[in-house]
Amino acid sequence: MLRERVADDIYIFTSDLYVKVTAGVIFTSQGVVVIDTLLFPQETSEIVDLVRRKSKSGVRYVINTHSHSDHVYGTYLFNGAEVIAHELCRQTLQKCGEEELSEAKEQIPELAEVQLRLPSLTFNEELILRLGDKTLRLLHTPGTTPDSIVVYAREDKVLFAGDTVMPVPYIVDGDRLELMESLRAIAKLSLDNIVQGHGGVLLRGEIKGTLKSSIAYLETIYNRVKEKVEAGAPRDELRRIGIESCGKSRIPLDGLVQDLHQANLEVLYDQLIPGES
């Protein structure tokens, strides 16, 4: 697993086992904040080990940016921490989490010991968390999922974006227009780094261009799918809409972005065909 430091007290972990999903650790004089946890316990345990070596106070808070399993399943390993998330994240995990975890355990033996932890502190629009010399601003940024949030480390100008920012925007569980608005809101922040939910960390010189291209991508795929629907084209025709023709690279996440792109096209097609919502 890749570990890198983006500021004096901020570390990023990137999974080797599941589509380069990321988690963050912020050290403060009054304890540690973990932002997202990883799918496989053996990788999240590396975060636990780092905290144990570097902090006497331990983890005070775990923040879940949304309810997807690859961002929450390791949360149980931080027993003494308070878990923070959007209220919709808690509701989603409460409604579906145990059933989905049970199904996942049947397919992935490595998850046998995972226990679902629900957020104990939730919010709706914004929450400010001050710990030691750090100020963390938690903002609701729906679009990739209804419960998505980002975490802005103000003093370090680092944004933990969860899946709101990815190498290709993903809207299968969310809403295209909401995600565009969330990306525009992020673009207004003063940032040196964005930690994407999957993939590499964006540096200051990349941020504006990446956010702009993601907004343009969401507009482009809508228009391209709409043209197909209006022409009466069958679903198979969506294969002709390549990711690169929509402004995004096919290379990131070991090529998985192409599958995400295709899924985006299909969900838009279903929304646009006559009689469908």
Residues contacting 88, CB < 8 A, separation 6+: 67, 146, 147
Indicate the CATH number of 2-203 among 2.40.50.100, 3.30.390.50, 3.60.15.10, 3.40.640.10: 3.60.15.10
Residues of the chain with pLDDT under 50: 277
Please tell me whether residue 176 adopts helix, strand or coil conformation.
helix
Q: Two tokens at 24?
A: 């963050």
pLDDT in the model for residue 277: 46
pLDDT in the model for residue 35: 98
| Spatial separation of the C-alpha atoms in residues 271 and 264, rounded to whole Å | 11
pLDDT in the model for residue 274: 76
**How far is CA 55 from each of CA 3, 26, 52, 158, 246, rounded to the nearest angstrom?**
17, 11, 6, 21, 45
